[in-house]
Amino acid sequence: MALKFKIKNNYFQDALRLMRISKNARDKYGVSKAVAVMATDKAKYALKDAGLMTSEVQEASGSDLVIAVEASSEDLAAQVIDEIESLIFSDTDQQSNSKGLIGQELKVVNIGLDIFKDALEAQSVKVVQVDWEVPAKGNEKVINILKKMY
> Which structural domains are found in the chain, ordered by start?
2-94 (3.30.1360), 96-150 (no CATH)
pLDDT in tens, 114-139: 888 888 888 778 888 888 777 777 88
For the cut 60, the answer to whether the pLDDT of residue 76 exceeds it is yes
User: For the range 91-100, what are the long-range contacts, defined as Cβ-Cβ under 8 Å and sequence gap of 24 or more?
Assistant: 91/17, 92/123, 97/124, 98/123, 98/124, 98/125, 98/126
pLDDT in tens, 21-68: 999 899 999 999 999 999 999 999 999 999 999 999 999 998 899 999
Cα 146 from Cα 9, distance rounded (Å): 42
Cα 108 from Cα 79, distance rounded (Å): 34
Mean pLDDT of the 94-123 span: 68
Minimal CA–CA distance to 22: which of 73, 83, 78?
Answer: 83
Cα 62 from Cα 113, distance rounded (Å): 10
Q: Are 62 and 13 in contact (CB under 8 A)?
A: no
Q: What share of the chain in percent tops pLDDT 70?
A: 89
- Reported in sequence order, the residue ranges of the chain that DSSP labels E, i.e. its strands, are 2-8, 31-38, 65-71, 107-110, 126-129
Cβ-based neighbour number of residue 128 at 10 Å: 10
Mean pLDDT of the 99-112 span: 65
